[in-house]
A and B are shown apart, each in its own frame.
With several copies, the nearest count.
Chain A
């Protein structure tokens, strides 16, 4: 990878990091989300503290974590707590500003499936399940989705609704009493979406350099809503790429 080119993963990391501007706390997943959160700490959100569902607040991992329960997350953290406390006192109490989630399927309202492809009782593919996603999607003040764009993933109807997004749209979340704000952005390898409309429907707001709205529509299983102006997402800066390549993931595990 030369200084002027970048991989789709690097672009996803950079775009996700930028979305964390001003956030105080982020609920981190491993892999790309982890790199994104750490990049944000170096750039747009210097006060960002990383929360891991394993029970860690204020992690400062000395290496790129191999999993969301890596021992390097504990050593040097501000707090290591039970999962009961992490979910109850931190997440459910409303202390998580932003959470990063992904899934096998997402629908136009940002609802997620991480449970099965096919029928629940006799699935074609048994997926991992909720993990903490259901309560994270319920309680985090806002949710960023990170998923690669594809028709298999961006579906008209979920095979199973594991975690609530904006449900049936509009004020459905509020009517059901869900405390958190729900999905705010969907970050893919080709384009960026938000839900900033009264229907809380996923809409294309930016395409990455070289990608057209038609390219994006081709990977989405429903007629895509477009923002009034679909912009172009700025490519990663030299400094963003340097941080990823030299500081955050020198071994290139997640690029």
Chain B
């Protein structure tokens, strides 16, 4: 089969179009900043951004004006504070107003679950006694057909594109993930198109040597991008740590649109691609983020026949 390997530029150019819904997921880990920055650089507009926990990346994308809407459950700079750009968009319409579609964490997980398994909806025990359904008509209540009473449901979601960062994948997109696997599997299966971004491209034999570790099969993958440190300043379990200074610095940078724009000019528009971003960041800073090894113990699948 022909390889699905593309540069980030070509993957975004081919698979992310104006007006579409885009989910770049990962719960505090695996957040593919490289993909989001490329979307900004290519000037996409009118996107509906989907993400359980909009983080610095979505703050940057929204500040850059790529989005008309946001589907989410929690807005925060994790462990630091507010996402000032998103607040500015919501509270003041700067740089443009932003339509919000709001859930709780489990609610958005449930939408991914329904989408991933082609169910029309998914039930969950939440939202009773909350005002969230009153501001989001997609959150509904049905009666348990077995008589236990009402229960909340949310509808399936099918992002046009999901962008999922992983530790390693082969050229077809068969991908191993470990650590905080979050909702990466569910969002990939829910989406109509999938871009897998990997720290390393490995031979198919590496994938086949541990099939329980494969959360995303190449079958659902449209493009594979090799982008080491593509998640900086977020982290990838076993590969690099979160760059906490960047999270702290963003709190100051993002408080004004002008300083935000200057940052975007320097770190997104001012570099051609992730390689230039990393070169600008410097090897020393990356070096400090590498953890010491902590290997998983051996597992034997057995050779039969």
Find out whether A and B make contact in their complex, taking CB atoms under 8 A apart as touching. yes
Q: Give the contacting residue for A80; candidates B1, B75, B76, B212; CB below 8 A.
A: B212
**Chain A: interface residue count, which band?**
35 or more
- Chain B: how many interface residues by the 8 Å CB criterion? 77
B14 near A: Cβ within 8 Å? no
A131 near B: Cβ within 8 Å? yes
A167 near B: Cβ within 8 Å? yes
Q: Which residues of B contact A62 (CB under 8 A)?
A: 303-305
Q: Which residues of B contact A130 (CB under 8 A)?
A: 73-74, 102-105, 107, 130, 132
| A53-104 interface (Cβ within 8 A of B) | 53-58, 60-85, 87-89, 91-95
B7 near A: Cβ within 8 Å? no
A71 and B75 contacting across the interface, CB-CB below 8 Å = no
| B27-85 interface (Cβ within 8 A of A) | 27-29, 52-53, 72-76, 78-79, 82
| A152-188 interface (Cβ within 8 A of B) | 160-164, 167, 172-173, 176-179
- B172's closest neighbor in chain A, by CB? A78
- B186's closest neighbor in chain A, by CB? A84
A164 and B301 contacting across the interface, CB-CB below 8 Å = no
Q: Which residues of B contact A60 (CB under 8 A)?
A: 208
Contact with A along B97-129 (1 / 0, CB 8 A): 000001111110100110011110000111111
B219 and A57 contacting across the interface, CB-CB below 8 Å = yes
- A82 vs B76: C-alpha distance when bound (angstroms): 21
Q: Which residues of A contact B53 (CB under 8 A)?
A: 131
Given contacts A87-B106, A93-B118, contact A71 B130 (CB under 8 A): no
A71 and B73 contacting across the interface, CB-CB below 8 Å = no
| A161-218 interface (Cβ within 8 A of B) | 161-164, 167, 172-173, 176-179
A70 and B105 contacting across the interface, CB-CB below 8 Å = no
Given contacts A55-B181, A70-B242, A129-B73, contact A78 B217 (CB under 8 A): yes
Given contacts A87-B109, A130-B103, contact A80 B178 (CB under 8 A): yes
A135 and B124 contacting across the interface, CB-CB below 8 Å = yes
Can you list 6 A-B pairs with a CB-CB distance of less than 8 A?
A31-B79, A68-B79, A82-B182, A130-B103, A130-B132, A177-B150
9 further interface pairs, Cβ-Cβ under 8 Å (given A67-B78, A95-B219)? A55-B180, A57-B214, A57-B219, A67-B79, A69-B78, A79-B214, A126-B87, A130-B73, A134-B107
